[in-house]
Every structure is written in structure tokens, then in C-alpha cells.
Amino acid sequence: MTGCPWLLSLIAMQPTYRPSKIARARKCGFRARSKTPGGRKVLASRRKIGRKRLGAS
């Protein structure tokens, strides 16, 4: 396809956010938080606040 370069860039663009529940759970979930000292601190502070859900679910 030849012609407008801006048109080619529009065709090549992809969405920047593609949600995946598995990727989210692995990155921000309870078990991921439990593995690191900083994550455990986050869980502790969320427990202190009284959150119903501590990690992404």
C-alpha cells in the first residue's frame, strides 16, 4: 500500500491495553504480593485498613 504515511501508521496502531485476568493475577495478585517484602508490606497495610480483598481478583 503506497500513499499517505499517516494512514499507514493508523493501520499499524494497536490498542495499548489488552486485559488478561491471568496476567493481572500473576503481577498484582495475592500470591505475587506474598512473595516480596514490599508486597507483604502492601498486604499488611491493606489488612490494617480492613480491605475485603487484599490482592487483585
Domain locations in the chain? 19-57
DSSP type of residue 34: H
| Angle at alpha carbon of residue 36, lines to 17 and 30, rounded to 5° | 60
Return per-residue pLDDT of the chain as tens, 57 residues: 566 666 666 677 889 999 999 999 999 999 999 999 999 999 999 999 999 999 887
Of 53, 10, 3, 15, the closest CA to residue 33 belongs to: 53
Helix, strand or coil for residue 27? helix
Say what the pTM is: 0.68
* Domain covering 19-57 in this structure, CATH number: 1.10.287.3980
Residues 6+ positions from 53 with CB-CB distance below 8 Å: none
Number of H helices, E strands in the chain: 4, 0
